Chains A and B, each alone.
Chain A
Amino acid sequence: KAGVTQTPRYLIKTRGQQVTLSCSPISGHRSVSWYQQTPGQGLQFLFEYFSETQRNKGNFPGRFSGRQFSNSRSEMNVSTLELGDSALYLCASSWTDLTNEKLFFGSGTQLSVL
């Protein structure tokens, strides 16, 4: 069974641009969560989607948005990029949105904003 797939693996953008990251969960998983990882802030929760509905959202500005499709694939979008958005963006999937489930992570998208 294929794992969680994130594309692209690396991305370089300039300030003010927008970016879309993609995540394909493990087949059958309906929950997708997104995290931002930086050396200074650690892993910060962005949002979670379950069956195409956003269930939870972290403390990030409205420039960060996401969606989930009927096949459970998810995208996150960051508009008007800032230097501080440079980070490793990780996607994780699980069968349900219950918190006693383990998360399966993708390898992440490394975003660099110049």
Chain B
Amino acid sequence: SQQGEEDPQALSIQEGENATMNCSYKTSINNLQWYRQNSGRGLVHLILIRSNEREKHSGRLRVTLDTSKKSSSLLITASRAADTASYFCATDGTGGFKTIFGAGTRLFVKA
């Protein structure tokens, strides 16, 4: 079963706008990661945030984590057409699983 659930399922924005994706999870975690997947390809790691961190930045990416609400958000600023992809949150899983992925948010950035 999936640990994380992303919201929205799909997002369409204009180039230059900011894109915000949210992830909610069910059980306590040690860390949360965000990955990007271009159509039909493998996933690429974007950023990892630990449970004792509240915010983390990497280039145009900003990730927040609220463990009390069991949620995280990924903000992509000044989006580009090349940011068009699916974005997944992933948590250390329960029941002996290693890393569990959510269903993903499909982002489409129009040029």
Enumerate chain A interface residues (CB-CB to B < 8 A): 4, 33, 35, 42-45, 48, 55-59, 88, 90, 92, 97, 99-100, 102-108, 110
What are 13 A-to-B residue pairs whose CB atoms are below 8 Å? A42-B103, A44-B2, A55-B98, A56-B97, A57-B96, A88-B40, A99-B98, A100-B30, A103-B43, A103-B45, A105-B43, A106-B42, A110-B40
- Name A's interface SS: strand
- Structural contact, B101 and A43, CB atoms closer than 8 A: yes
Given contacts A48-B98, A56-B98, contact A42 B2 (CB under 8 A): yes
Q: Are B42 and A105 in contact (CB under 8 A)?
A: yes
CB distance from A54 to the nearest CB of B (A): 11
Nearest-CB distance from B99 to chain A (Å)? Answer: 6
| Residue in contact with B98 in the complex, picked from A4, A33, A106, A107, CB distance below 8 Å | A33
Among A42, A48, A57: residue with most chain B CB under 10 A:
A42
Interface pair B45/A42, CB less than 8 Å apart: no
Q: Which residue of A4, A45, A97 contacts B100 across the interface (Cβ within 8 Å)?
A: A45
CB distance from B35 to the nearest CB of A (A): 8
Whole-angstrom distance between the Cβ of A10 and the nearest chain B Cβ: 10
Task: Give chain B's interface residues, CB within 8 Å of chain A.
Answer: 1-2, 30-31, 33, 35, 40-45, 48, 50, 88, 90, 92-93, 96-104
A4 CA to B88 CA in the complex, in Å?
19
From A42, A59, A99, A106, contact of B99 by CB (8 A): A99
By Cβ-Cβ distance, the 7 closest A-B pairs, closest first, are A105-B42, A99-B92, A43-B101, A102-B45, A42-B103, A105-B43, A48-B98
Question: In the bound complex, how far is the Cα of B2 from the Cα of A44, in angstroms?
Answer: 7
